[in-house]
Chains A and B, each alone.
Chain A
Amino acid sequence: MSTDATLANITDAEQGSSLWKDAWHRLRKNKMAVGGLFVLMLMCIAALLTPWLAPYSYEEQNLILGAAPPSAQHWLGTDTLGRDLLTRLLYGGRISLAVGFIATAVALLIGVLYGTVAGYFGGRIDAVMMRLVDILYALPFMIFIILLMVIFGRNILLLFLAIGAVEWLTMARIVRGQVQTLRQQEFVEAAVSLGLSQWTIISRHLIPNTLGPVIVYTTLTIPSVMLFEAFLSFLGLGIQPPQSSWGLLISYGVETMEEYPWLLIFPGLALSITLFALNFLGDGLRDALDPRTSKD
């Protein structure tokens, strides 16, 4: 790269850190990651436009038809009550994706901030903060969620928050461990001696360096949250019929697997494709955010 070109580059890179900009450049070169991102965006668009895209209503039953294999009218077949599977899959996707992303975002936000603060300040602050995490860990969280549901009533938004509120614990522990090691590195001391404020040190020097494990853990959290929702719904604590989610569709599909395999296959495929896309994107992001892995 010639000097002039570099300098031209720099002039648009003045806004904030160039890490994110460089990461975006690197991510775009990673075909798998771009593919994953594309698939996820497609899923999200489909979820947003579901009311217009869905060929039927999600509660529309056709008891005479019953469970029918894929056909021209019902592309993915129907379930035992004669409801169109494609429609239910689309509506289920809305819930599953929303739970997956919102709950994980909640976990990410709380976990990273909490872990960084605990790890950075250390000492007594750390001890108190981490003991709190230990206590919450020890709490049987089924009871915690049932309590929430009982107190606040059944509410999808609350479900997101409740799951997120449980999942952040592990994230906080991971981030705290990372920050503890990072804090002893000289570049953090250098930042202190430059007179940077604590918040600048945390946001510019510590958090970006914890991103590797955080991203990996995030891509693992999203699917586990989706399955967790199915589990709660199964117990009657989450989504109620006739509403549905991928997790629920799969668990019903398992029951009738032998007679009506398509009821398991299609929801299963939807979930698997999402997870694949997530993993590719996650791997790509992790590499893109680490300047050391770039080969150009």
Chain B
Amino acid sequence: MALLEVNNLSTWFHTRNGVVKAVDDVSFSVAEGETLAIVGESGSGKSVCCYSLLGLIPMPPGKIESGTALFNGRDLLALSERELRGIRGNEIATIFQDPMTSLNPYLTIGEQLIEPLIYHRDMSRKKARIRAIELLDAVGIPRAEHRFDSYAFQFSGGMRQRVMIAMALIAEPRLLIADEPTTALDVTIQAQTLKLISELQTQRNLAVIFISHDLAVVANIADRVAVMKDGKIVETNTTTAIYSKPQHPYTQTLLKAIPDGGKVQQADIADTPLLEICRLKTWFNISGKKNTRSGKKDTRKKSDGSAKGSSANDHTVKAVDDVTLTIRRHEILGIVGESGSGKSTLGRSILQLVKPTGGSVKYGGDELTTLSRRQMKPYRRRMQMIFQDPYASLNPRMSVFDALAEPLLYHGLATRKTVLAEVLALMDDVGLAADSIRKYPHEFSGGQRQRIAIGRAIATKPEFIIADEPVSALDVTIQAQILELILQLVDKHNLTMLFISHDLSVVRYICDRVAVMHQGKLIESGATETLWHHPQQSYTQSLLAAVPSLQASHN
């Protein structure tokens, strides 16, 4: 018998611009000890669906229009707020996406852990503390007894997510709703967290609803998968069936959009280097206020960088440490690494957006690190950057026309007379409709915004582009389109690209060569397929092993 049985659930949002059917006639069930994954892209209603069950959607504008949700024989949708409170965190627990913001920064984690025990179970503090420490131990927090009195900021992202899991499990719930629990985590941490969740599930015979946008993650953990699109479940089936014989066209699109396999090798990579990076160091001094946030403003040091380096101590973060790298013309070089590995700082140091502490960056033979802002200007035109977050990388008060015309006019690549034609050509290049020229960024979706940002980057006809996680904020089908666009443009304009990403399957799909970064150091590099199949360093091996892949689930 199913533990939770949802029938014909509809949750609509009544907004000024009409009704949004966030969840539209959805039915599913979860049995004890089973993992159901709800998969869909952003806005598909997968989260709203679960929050409706717990009474956690804002009402109004939200309203549950119809449906029943039988949990253990009781209809959740018919319960009063008071009764629901008895169920939330007690019988049904939730893990949220972002471990950074879902813990209260002002309370120790122990305090937050024992809260449900004291509320729901009337347990004494002493007993609750013992339980909590046991559980912290079970989720793999080392020295749990000491960490009980730590605050959230004293934990890393992965550890915080473990604390969140402990918190969810402390009242011994029967159903766990995990809303994108690993999306904010690094790939190796993600693998550990997923393993932990499935272990705990087997031990405790938990039912789990696992909400995710990532089909590859889901493949390794779920028993059954429900695919959601536009508020409807379009297909539900066992995991194996979904991946081997997807029925619905949307499921097929989703599966196809996952970058899989290697890049079709491009032939025309020249042997001439475009960029030579030699012993590049970018260190931040975090003891003073300087440099961590205002690195790019640091005009103070020029050649005394090495002198500063020698006085390095505990307060110095070596974001980029002694990196030597050559980028050849017309190649796409991938930089992979986990968060904090210094891959973004490396990109910014190459572009001199952050002044390196030492070492050299030669662009076509010219040294960049010693140039002043003014001397940099001609190089700026030739080197561009695409940023991760298309919501933050576009000025909200500049229309598409303004954003694309600015670099053209500023660098004298167009006159006032020709700029309109140039902008339209650019928009055509990146696949934006001409009639959206007067629109502002907020009127576009994430993928379209990234197209604008890409258009801006290629506006100056650069030779070299650094793409810093250009697709990691996008849905998987949009991601596939943007990757396709990038490949197309690289080909059309003969670009050289440094592609920074934490997502190894994306890198494998797009890059000719890959370099792996770990704690500021470049530990390994090589042709993509060679590195994939014969990683030399143990770190690279563990990184590759952690990548969730569809193949793994079939074997």
Interface residue stretch chosen among A81-89, A133-141, A182-190? A182-190
**From DSSP, what is the main secondary structure of chain A's interface residues?**
helix
A75 within 8 A of B: no
Stretch touching chain B among A12-20, A217-225, A274-282 = A12-20
Q: Is B453 an interface residue (CB 8 A)?
A: yes
- The residue of chain A having its C-beta at the shortest distance from the C-beta of B291 within the complex is A123
Given the interface pairs A123-B290, A190-B393, A193-B385, the reply to whether A14 lies near B297 with Cβ below 8 Å is: no
Count of chain B residues with a beta carbon within 8 Å of a chain A beta carbon: 47
Instruction: Please determine whether B296 and A192 come into contact, CB atoms closer than 8 angstroms.
Output: yes
Write the nearest CB–CB distance from A201 to chain B, whole angstroms.
10
Say how far B12's CB is from chain A's closest CB, in angstroms. Answer: 21
A19 touches B402 (CB 8 A): yes
The reply to whether A195 and B406 form a contact with Cβ atoms under 8 Å apart is no
Q: Give B contacts to A, CB under 8 Å.
A: 290, 293-294, 296-298, 348, 351, 353, 373, 376-377, 379-381, 383-385, 387-389, 392-399, 401-402, 406-407, 410-411, 416, 419-420, 434-435, 437-438, 440, 442, 453, 456, 460
B294 touches A209 (CB 8 A): no
Q: Which of A9, A205, A209, A291 has the most CB of B within 10 A?
A: A291
In the bound complex, CA of A242 to CA of B395 (Å):
53
The complex places the Cα of A208 from the Cα of B403 at a distance, in Å, of 14
Query: Which among B294, B348, B419, B434 has the highest number of chain A CB atoms within 10 Å?
Result: B294
Question: A17-B402, A121-B297, A185-B393 given. 13 additional CB < 8 A pairs?
Answer: A2-B435, A6-B435, A7-B437, A14-B420, A122-B293, A122-B297, A186-B387, A193-B383, A194-B460, A196-B406, A198-B373, A290-B397, A291-B442
Residues of B within 8 A of A185 (CB): 392-393
Provide a sorted-by-A list of 20 A–B residue pairs whose CB atoms are within 8 angstroms.
A2-B435, A6-B434, A14-B416, A14-B420, A18-B438, A19-B398, A22-B399, A123-B294, A189-B296, A189-B387, A190-B394, A193-B380, A194-B406, A194-B456, A195-B380, A198-B373, A208-B397, A289-B397, A291-B397, A292-B396
Does A10 contact B437, Cβ atoms closer than 8 Å?
yes
Question: Can you name the residue of chain B whose Cβ is closest to the Cβ of A186?
Answer: B393
Checking A1, A192, A204 against B435 with a beta-carbon cut-off of 8 angstroms, the contacting residue is: A1
Q: Which residues of B contact A122 (CB under 8 A)?
A: 293-294, 297
Given A14-B416, A19-B398, A204-B406, are A193 and B384 neighbors across the interface (CB < 8 Å)?
A: yes
- Decide yes or no: A209 and B395 within 8 Å by CB, A192-B353, A200-B410 being known contacts: yes
Contact A186:B389 (CB < 8 A) given known A18-B402, A205-B395? yes
Q: Which residues of B contact A22 (CB under 8 A)?
A: 399, 438
Beyond A6-B437, A17-B402, A187-B395, whether A196 also contacts B293 by CB under 8 A is no
The answer to whether A193 and B420 touch (CB under 8 A), given A18-B399, A292-B442, is no
Which of B384, B392, B420 is within 8 Å of A194, CB to CB?
Answer: B384
**B411/A10 in contact, CB under 8 A:** no
CA distance A200 to B406 in the complex (A): 10
Inter-subunit contact B388/A186 (CB<8 Å) = yes
The 7 closest A-B pairs by CB, nearest first: A195-B380, A291-B440, A186-B393, A186-B392, A186-B387, A3-B435, A187-B395
A14 to B420, CA, bound (A): 8
Residues of B within 8 Å of A209, CB to CB, are 395-397
Task: Give the docked Cα–Cα distance between A193 and B393 (Å).
Answer: 12
Residues of A within 8 A of B381 (CB): 195
Tell me whether A11 is interfacial, beta carbon within 8 Å. yes
Measured in the bound complex, the distance between the Cα atoms of B381 and A229 in whole Å is: 52
Q: Contacts of B437 on A, CB cut-off 8 Å?
A: 6-7, 10
Question: Measured between alpha carbons, how far is A10 from B456 in the docked complex, in Å?
Answer: 18
The reply to whether B410 and A10 contact each other, CB–CB distance below 8 Å, is no
Contact present for B392 and A187 (CB under 8 Å): yes
Residue among B290, B348, B351, B387 having the largest count of chain A Cβ atoms under 10 Å: B387
What distance in Å separates the Cβ of B358 from its nearest Cβ neighbour in chain A? Answer: 21
A259–B330 CA distance with the chains assembled, in angstroms: 89
A20 to chain B, nearest CB (A): 10
Cβ-neighbour of A13 out of B383, B392, B401 (below 8 A): B401
Given A194-B460, A195-B377: A9 touches B438 (CB 8 Å cut-off): yes
Contacts of A3 in B (CB 8 A): 434-435
A127: nearest chain-B partner, CB-CB: B289
Q: Do A18 and B401 contact each other (CB < 8 Å), given the known contacts A193-B380, A193-B385?
A: yes
Whether B351 pairs with A193 at a CB distance below 8 angstroms is yes
User: Which B residues are in CB contact (< 8 Å) with A196?
Assistant: 406, 410
**Nearest-Cβ distance from residue A41 to partner chain B, whole angstroms:** 26
Query: Chain B: which residue is nearest A208 at the CB level?
Result: B397
Q: Closest residue to B395 on the A side, CB-wise? A: A187
Contacts of A190 in B (CB 8 A): 385, 387, 393-394, 453, 456
With both chains docked as a complex, state the minimum distance between the C-beta of A259 and any C-beta of chain B, in angstroms: 53
Question: How many Å from the CB of A96 to the closest CB on chain B?
Answer: 33
Bound-state CA distance A198–B353 (Å) is 13
Which residues of chain B are near A186, meaning CB under 8 Å? 387-389, 392-393
> In the assembly, what is the distance between CA of A198 and CA of B296, in Å?
12
In the bound complex, residues from chain A placing their C-beta under 8 Å from that of B387 are 186, 189-190
Residues from chain A with a CB closer than 8 A to the CB of B379 are 195
Residues from chain B with a CB closer than 8 A to the CB of A290 are: 396-397
CA distance A19 to B397 in the complex (A): 7
Determine how close the nearest CB of chain B comes to the CB of A212; give it in whole angstroms: 10
CB neighbors of B among A250-280 (8 A): none
Inter-chain CA distance A200–B442, complex, in Å, is 23
Across-interface contacts of A7 in B (CB, < 8 A): 420, 434, 437
Cα-based distance from A191 to B457 in the complex (angstroms)? 10
Q: Is the CB of A11 within 8 A of B440?
A: no
- B393 surroundings in chain A (CB, below 8 A): 185-187, 189-190
Interchain CA distance A194-B298 in the complex, whole Å: 19
In the complex, A18 Cα to B404 Cα: how many Å?
12
Q: How far is the CA of A204 from the CA of B376 in the complex (A)?
A: 20
Residue-wise, chain A 116-127 has the 8 Å CB interface mask toward B (1 for contact) of 000001110000
On chain B, the residues within 8 Å of A17 by CB distance are 398, 402
CB distance from A272 to the nearest CB of B (A): 32
Chain B neighbourhood of A184, CB < 8 A: 293
Chain A neighbourhood of B396, CB < 8 A: 209, 290-292
**Separation of A191 and B460 alpha carbons in the complex (Å):** 12
Interface-centre pick from B293, B395, B437 (highest chain A CB count, 10 A):
B395
- Among residues of A, the one whose C-beta sits closest to the C-beta of B378 is A195
> Which chain B residues lie closer than 8 Å to A189 at the CB level?
296, 348, 353, 385, 387, 393
**How distant is the Cα of A84 from the Cα of B297 in the complex, in angstroms?**
62
Report the Cα distance A258→B396, complex, angstroms. Answer: 55
Q: Does the CB pair A187–B394 fall under 8 Å?
A: yes
How many Å lie between the Cα of A213 and that of B336 in the bound state?
41
In the complex, which residues 154-208 of chain A have their Cβ closer than 8 Å to any Cβ of chain B? 184-187, 189-196, 198, 200, 204-205, 208
Residues of the A chain whose Cβ atoms lie less than 8 Å from the Cβ of B290: 123
What's the Cα separation between A170 and B45 when bound, in Å? 45
Q: Which residues of A contact B392 (CB under 8 A)?
A: 185-187
CB distance from B473 to the nearest CB of A (A): 11
Chain B nearest CB, measured from A296 CB (Å): 11
Cα–Cα, bound, A236→B395 (Å)? 49
Shortest CB distance A206–B (Å): 9
Instruction: Provide the bound-state CA to CA distance between A149 and B299, in Å.
Output: 42
- Taking CB atoms, residues of chain B closer than 8 Å to A194 are 380, 384, 406-407, 410, 456, 460
Give, as a whole number of angstroms, the nearest-CB distance from A6 to chain B: 5
In the bound complex, what is the Cα–Cα distance between A17 and B403 (angstroms)? 10
